[in-house]
């Protein structure tokens, strides 16, 4: 890995300012969405009106060994984002599985996860790290990483990360019954609580654990 990093650093010293900006945008785009941007998305972000000018920059970056194409999609050469069967998703930080706490910290980090956990949700998922044991009976323990699909809607019975009216966030199971909205833990040591309003941040689609 040290050798790869040295090669990447050497390549970047040979780039123009515009090429470095394009490469940085492609990297951040892949980290956020799990796939490469289109020529038009690059042009819009970098304010390059002519798509052919973007294409020339990309071709130059490919010749210099910074980029490659995989099934027609842009990838960063020498980086793990395009490894077979895996993709990288953003890690947004801690979310309490206990009493709601202030909005989760954005870590700026990312995680490699298996493609099969994402499926058609590609580009629309993120990870959190769980703090607390209120969801232990749903096999989500303190320190686990939970994969979520970005959404602002959820059905009763789904596990979600919810942002409450005071800005705090929590991981719970959503229950709607008799006109009431409840956030329900999966641990008998914790009590459900009713909320008047909430914002759904994402729904749980998987759990990752290191032993």
Q: Which residues are catalytic?
A: 134, 172
Q: What is the DSSP string of 4-58?
A: HHHHHHHHHHTS-HHHHHHHHHHHHHHHHHSSPPPHHHHHHHHT---HHHHHHHH
What is the three-class DSSP state of 107?
Answer: coil
| Number of Cβ atoms within 10 Å of the Cβ of 170 | 26
Of 61, 58, 31, 62, give the one whose Cα is nearest residue 42: 58
Of 108, 115, 121, give the one whose Cα is nearest residue 87: 115
- Antiparallel, parallel or unpaired: β 86-96 and 125-131: parallel
For helices 39-46 and 17-33, angle between their N-to-C axes, nearest 10 degrees: 120
**DSSP state, residue 101:** B
Backbone angles phi, psi at 109, to 5 degrees: -100, 180
For helices 51-63 and 39-46, angle between their N-to-C axes, nearest 10 degrees: 100
């Amino acid at each position: 890995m040290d050798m790869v990093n040295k090669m990447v650093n050497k390549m970047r010293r040979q780039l123009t300012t515009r090429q470095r900006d394009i490469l940085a945008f492609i990297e951040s785009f892949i980290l956020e969405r799990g796939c490469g941007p289109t020529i038009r998305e690059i042009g819009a972000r970098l304010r390059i009106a002519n798509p052919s000018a973007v294409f020339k920059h990309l071709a130059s970056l490919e010749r210099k060994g910074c980029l490659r194409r995989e099934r027609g999609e842009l990838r960063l050469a020498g980086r793990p984002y395009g490894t077979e069967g895996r993709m990288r998703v953003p890690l947004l930080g801690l979310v309490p599985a206990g009493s709601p706490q202030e909005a989760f910290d954005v870590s700026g980090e990312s995680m490699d996860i298996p493609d099969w956990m994402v499926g058609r949700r590609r580009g629309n998922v993120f990870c959190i790290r769980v703090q607390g044991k209120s969801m232990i009976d749903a096999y989500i323990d303190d320190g686990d990483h939970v994969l979520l699909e970005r959404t602002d809607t959820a059905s009763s019975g789904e596990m979600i990360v919810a942002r409450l009216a005071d800005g705090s966030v929590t991981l719970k199971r959503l229950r709607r019954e008799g006109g009431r909205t409840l956030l329900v833990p999966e641990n008998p040591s914790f009590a459900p609580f009713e909320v008047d309003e909430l914002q759904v941040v994402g729904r749980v689609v998987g759990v990752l654990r290191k032993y």
